[in-house]
Amino acid sequence: MRFRCVCKSWMSLISDPYLVKKHLHLSTQTTNFTHHRILLSATTAEFHLESCSVSSLLNNPSTICEDLNYPVKNKFRHDGIVGSCNGLLCFAIKGDSVLLWNPSTRVSKKSPPLSNNWRPGCYTDFGLGYDKKNDDYKVVAVFCDPNVSFSESKVKVYSMANNSWRKIQDFRHGVTPYQNSGKFVSGALNWAANYSVGSSSLWIIVSLDLYQETYKEIQPPDYEKLDCSTPTLGVLRGCLCMNYDYKRTNFVVWLMEDYGVRESWIKLVSVPYLSNPEDFSYSGPYCISENGEVLLMFEFDLILYDPRDHSFKYPKIQSGKGWFDAEVYFETLVSPIKH
């Protein structure tokens, strides 16, 4: 990315929309994780981010991390990682605005404030995705205020192209997302949510189409509801996945091979717990290799589980500090600033 500074013609070439999309296509179509990196948020008092190659984690016993220069200069505030899309990373800032940042090009943009009527107990769930038909990256903010009615959630959409928020239709009455980010799959953001029906409640998946801005419910698989923790959502191989702890003995991952088709759910892997299952749970999964190895986090460290022989590997990260959160992203030229 240093070539942007050589001359204006090179800067113009690297920012050309055709080149950006061509490079994006090449980066996202590789199957050997050549352009995949994982962002790591350190468990330190100061907000510290590092990045390393996913390919190196999968194939080498030791990996070198690169320190990242986070654009917002407030080292004692830990901004939450919302997600990534086509090389852009999204961070939530105090639940009132977001930062879009491409760490590969070091270009960033902060959104205007949401200006919601925040009070103690309120929270905002964000999600980042791409509206292909409008060629626009969008962030959705779902604002939940339990002081008014825990069953109502107000929704706004941020357009990167217009650099503005606007209100859209709320989640339907009785549906409240859990405090997790929306996961982007097949043009839609997906949230795990609680649906209150009288005195009972159901765990459901709410999907928001980013082009039509309409909602639908995604049916989960037929899983062990009575013996598992509250499921969370993720993305693997571009597909929606669902994860939960089963009887505190295994971490179970389901994968939806054909988005929106309930019959396409498959139980992908069940990862056993080796120690301290009451104290820690697995986080992730962050990726799965071509030979089936699953990258997870446990007790502030990354681990690899191989379901073929039920073995674990512990990739060594040089200068590693222990990790609080992680997010896989692509190396691309996509810019959060419209040229």
Q: pLDDT, tens digit, for every residue of 296-329?
A: 999 889 999 999 999 999 999 887 678 889 999 9
Sheet holding 123-131, edge to edge: 123-131, 136-144, 153-159, 164-167
Average pLDDT (270-287) is 84
Q: pLDDT, tens digit, for every residue of 54-106?
A: 999 999 888 998 999 999 887 777 899 999 999 999 999 988 999 999 999 99
Average pLDDT (262-267) is 97
* Lowest-confidence pick of 8-17, 111-120, 214-223, 305-314: 8-17
Cα-based distances in Å from 278 to 174, 275, 282, 299 = 32, 9, 11, 12
Average pLDDT (152-156) is 86
Contact of 88 with 103, CB cutoff 8 Å: no
Res. 6: pLDDT tops 70? no
Residue 56: φ, ψ to 5°? -65, -40
Q: Identify the DSSP state of 230.
A: P
pLDDT at 176: 85
Provide the β-strand partners of residue 139.
128, 158
**In this structure, which long-range contacts are made by residues 45-53, counting pairs with CB atoms below 8 Å and at least 24 apart in sequence?**
45/76, 46/75, 46/76, 47/74, 47/75, 47/76, 47/77, 47/78, 47/79, 48/75, 48/321, 50/319, 50/320, 51/103, 52/317
Please classify residue 72 by burial: count the beta carbons closer than 10 Å to its beta carbon, then call 0-12 exposed, 13-18 middle and 19+ buried. Answer: middle
Q: CA end-to-end span of the chain, whole Å?
A: 16
Q: pLDDT, tens digit, for every residue of 128-145?
A: 999 999 999 999 999 987
Residue the block writes with tokens 């980010």? 181
CA 158, 159, 162 angle in degrees (round to 5)?
125
State the CB neighbour count (10 A cutoff) for residue 123: 14
The overall average pLDDT reported for the chain is 88
pLDDT at 32: 77
SS3 of residue 261 by DSSP:
coil
pTM of the model: 0.91
